Chains A and B, each alone.
Chain A
Amino acid sequence: MSTATIETATPVAHEDHGHEHHHDLPWYRKYVFSTDHKVIAKQFMLSSLFFLFIGGAFALFIRWQLAYPGKPVPVIGSILPATWVTEPGSGIITPEFYTQLLTMHGSIMIFFVIIPFAAGMFGNFCIPLMIGTDDMALPRLNMWSFWLVPPAGLIMMAGFFTDTGYAAAGWTSYPPLSAMTGLEKFTISGQTLWLISVFLVGFSSIMGAVNYVTTVLNKRAKGMKLFDMPLTVWALFITAILVTLGTPVLAAGLAMLFMDNFLHTSFFLPDNLVTSSKYFGGGQPILFQHVFWFYSHPAVYIMILPLMGIVSDVMATFSRKPIYGYKAMVFAIAGIAFLGFVVWGHHMFQSGMNPLLGTTFMLSTIVIAVPSSIKVFNWLGTLWRGNIKFSTAMLNALAFVSMFIIGGLSGVFMASAPVDIYIHDTYFIVAHIHYVLFGGSLFGIFAGIYYWYPKMYGKMLNERWGKLHFVLTFITFNLTFFPMHVLGLGGHMRRIYDPNVYDFLKGLSDVNEVITIGAIGLGFAQLVLVFNVLWSLKYGKRAPRNPWRANSLEWAAPEHPGHGNFDKDITVYRGPYEFSAEGRKSDYWPQWEPGSSKTVNHHTIAVEEETRSFGSH
């Protein structure tokens, strides 16, 4: 490893207590319980990829049932146990298992894939490197924030082995459904495990976020002002604030729901419920929705803001242009984050909300379109007349922007309450969330992986495989999710087990079939990514220090940085987006390179050393 040279060069013991040396650590402290932010980022990446495939497999079960209701699941159907999972002896999934699959698909994709990818992996990898420091402010806390995720995932997956199976109340877990499982007090069910698991994963997020906030505020390299930070760091910083303030509210809601579920209290259960077991009532089911969405709407931005930052960096680098409207981008992120806290009611237009309150939420929601449009406009402005290089990272970033536009526009539809009354709880909503979370977040994640893989592993990802992965994913993604708009407007409800029960949905069965074929293709296309990641690890080209000729500080680090990241002093002289500055031979100007410049009409012009020192020496 490249660290060896650094450490032999400086054998001086120093008095920094919290900082273990790399070479005298046992293997399990280096690779398993490591406090190095890069190792933790890789761990987050691996666990998220693992859960991505589990969540994707669940989605394929769902798709199979919707396209071919009542037909046995191919290949896997015969292995599944014939209890509540499949109809006896047939391999057809039961309605119970179907709702469990829906629940687990959503929960796993959100809590164990997108959030750990966006905040966990990129937060850990990018923040210390991009602000030019050796590690997180609190490395050990950082380690624990990862090591809560695998147990939490196992706890959630353990639901399969309870008598009633996984949680089945949807990823939103609305009471009364989630609170009244019909089981006795003190029974561990899939729902109970789900609540514990999400509580743990929330605690992990908070620990990570607290660390990010501290690191960004306290550990920036010499000379780096807040407005010298790349947009990735800004986005992760603001996301961390969202996590810090939003997640604990969900935790409180989960704790109360856990009591309702496990101890038969009734925070969220109203009077006079007719059930077999005794509930004393007095609570309000909609109260849980308020508490839940107070977190989960900001969570939508937790899942997309980091990727917006990453895409900004990728686009500026591959357009060889400064990002258009850097400060506007920062304020747009902050604006989206702030508005994210005051719009949660738009998830509840149909839950029985005072129309006046609904109108307020509708207005605040539509206002979010303003900062979002600022961002899209600035991305287009960055591309405009740029010297664009269509690398895999750039292609994924472009896909992010275009898919985000589609998802954002359908978002404006459902933000207005009158339209939402019609499309509420249909596949239109499913199309929207997947355009934002898959088309948005996941393409952003791919862009980030392709962009930073060289710094992570010291090898370049194979561009040809990367482009194949991109093309397959982009086509099958649109084949899968675009027709869902059609389904939704046709009245296809989400979460239904068998569309053939409804006469008016029979005409849409072809669409369902197309979607399922697309989804299967989409699932298999991701194998290309995994193959590429593993293949390039061994056979990839060695990465140079700065393969993309980018400006931000992570590219000042060695090819495959070891513990401590940098092998030289870092002083920051300028912002991260000084591409194509006039008066320079190369079209980029790294943040760590000395030199002075002046700004004329928003253009940076390099000033020669001789002219600057005229008369002063």
Chain B
Amino acid sequence: MSAALNLSHEPVTKIAHGKMAMWAFLASELMFFTGFFGTFIVLRNTNYQAFYDASHHLSWPLALLNTFILIGSSLTMALAIYNLERKNNGMFQTYLGLTILGAFGFLIVKYFEYSAKWADGLFPGQENHTLFYSFYFIMTGFHALHVIAGMIPMAFMLMKSYTKGGYPYPVKVETLGLYWHFVDLMWIFIFPALYLIFP
């Protein structure tokens, strides 16, 4: 509150507040997806044949493409942080822009996947919907929401970086990066669980 007091000191753990909170939040997020994976594992074992059949209707090449897009965007995110920390504003903008582009690309591929499912009547509430697709939509749906939630602060940071002085908080970008890697990591789990583990 005032400069004379010693209350607002450096973080005791030397980890910035936002970053520490992000780690705690990611632990929470991990448990959120664990809820879906846990029920998925249980119901997969009791409905194996139905899940097997449904899984083969999914397009794994599209999902594989999305995997590469997301891993690529994680790399560009890391490079964006690297460049911002070294006050390389131009490169920061390039890499952050690429990350947003990757997120967009992911969602576009997702759109094509979803519209194919819509045409086949597989959406929840549609006539051909089965339990496997309930998992498919709730897991990929929440994941896509996380992608969108990540894009909003990215776009904000990119916009700010074009103002005078650029974007001044490398720690915030790093914190967002943590989140982005988590979103990537969740996809790395969702992809095999839904598309690949049914031989």
Contact = CB atoms under 8 A, between A and B. Distances in A.
B31 A264 contact: no
Given A206-B28, A222-B6, A570-B7, A6 B1 contact: yes
Contact of B130 (A132, A133, A282, A571): A282
B199 interface: no
A246 B30 CA distance: 11
Interface string B31-59: 11111101100110011001000000000
B1 to A, nearest CB: 3
Nearest to B31: A248
B12 A219 contact: yes
Contact of B2 (A10, A137, A284): A10
Nearest to A249: B35
Contact of B129 (A248, A280, A283): A280
A269 B42 CA distance: 14
Interface string A196-218: 00000000001001110110011
Contact of A569 (B6, B34, B43, B125): B6
A247 B27 CA distance: 11
Given A245-B28, A263-B125, A141 B7 contact: no
B138 interface: yes
B29 interface: yes
A256 B1 contact: no
Nearest to B22: A210
A247 B25 CA distance: 11
Contacts of A132: 7
A226 to B, nearest CB: 9
B7 A133 contact: yes
Nearest to A245: B31
Interface string B128-159: 01110010001000100000000000000000
Interface stretch (B13-21, B64-72, B179-187, B189-197): B13-21
A137 B130 contact: no
B5 A210 contact: no
Contact of B20 (A12, A213, A246, A569): A213
Contacts of A247: 28
Contacts of B142: 255
Contacts of B129: 265, 280
Interface residues of B, number: 44
Contact of A287 (B25, B42, B134): B42
B4 interface: yes
Nearest to B17: A137
B35 A253 contact: yes
The secondary-structure label for the interface of chain B is: helix
A219 B11 contact: yes
A270 to B, nearest CB: 10
Contact of A284 (B5, B7, B33, B42): B42
Given A266-B134, A282-B47, A14 B3 contact: yes
A246 B18 CA distance: 21
B25 A222 contact: no
Interface in A329-359: none
A507 to B, nearest CB: 45
Contact of A221 (B7, B11, B46): B7
A256 B134 CA distance: 9
Given A218-B12, A566-B5, A252 B33 contact: yes
A249 B134 contact: no
B43 A138 contact: no
B35 A291 contact: yes
Given A248-B35, A249-B32, A252-B35, A217 B20 contact: yes
Contact of B3 (A12, A266, A281, A287): A12
B1 A218 contact: no
Contact of B11 (A16, A218, A263): A218
A249 B31 CA distance: 6
B166 interface: no
Interface in A393-439: none
A68 to B, nearest CB: 43
B32 A251 contact: yes
Contact of B1 (A210, A281, A565): A565
Contacts of A265: 124, 129, 131, 134
A568 B34 CA distance: 46
A66 to B, nearest CB: 36
A287 B24 contact: no
B163 interface: no
Contact of A210 (B2, B7, B21, B43): B21
A132 B125 CA distance: 54
Contact of A137 (B21, B31, B47): B21
Interface in A129-151: 132-134, 137-138, 141
A214 B131 contact: no
Nearest to A567: B5
Nearest to A269: B131
A29 interface: no
Given A264-B125, A266-B134, A214 B34 contact: no
Contacts of B17: 137-138, 214, 218-219
Given A10-B4, A218-B15, A570-B6, A211 B21 contact: yes
A54 B99 CA distance: 49
A134 B142 CA distance: 36
Contacts of A496: none
A19 B47 CA distance: 54
Given A218-B17, A282-B131, A134 B27 contact: no
Contacts of B27: 244-245
A218 B29 contact: no
A213 B21 contact: yes
A10 B21 contact: no
Interface in B103-143: 124-125, 129-131, 134, 138, 142
B1 A267 contact: no
B119 to A, nearest CB: 18
A252 B4 contact: no
Contacts of A206: 25, 28
A249 B34 contact: yes
Given A16-B8, A244-B28, A265-B129, A214 B21 contact: yes
A220 interface: yes
Given A141-B21, A210-B21, A210-B28, A218 B13 contact: yes
Contacts of A209: 24, 28
A489 interface: no
19 contacts: A6-B1, A7-B2, A9-B2, A10-B2, A19-B8, A134-B1, A134-B7, A248-B34, A249-B35, A259-B134, A263-B124, A265-B124, A265-B134, A281-B131, A282-B47, A283-B43, A284-B42, A565-B1, A570-B6
Interface of B: 1-9, 11-13, 15, 17-18, 20-21, 24-25, 27-36, 38-39, 42-43, 46-47, 50, 124-125, 129-131, 134, 138, 142
4 closest Cβ pairs, A-B complex: A252-B35, A564-B1, A10-B2, A248-B32
Interface of A: 6-7, 9-10, 12, 14, 16, 19, 132-134, 137-138, 141, 185-186, 206, 209-211, 213-214, 217-222, 244-253, 255-256, 259, 263-267, 280-284, 287, 291, 563-566, 568-571
Given A248-B32, A566-B7, 5 more contacts: A249-B32, A252-B36, A259-B124, A282-B47, A282-B131
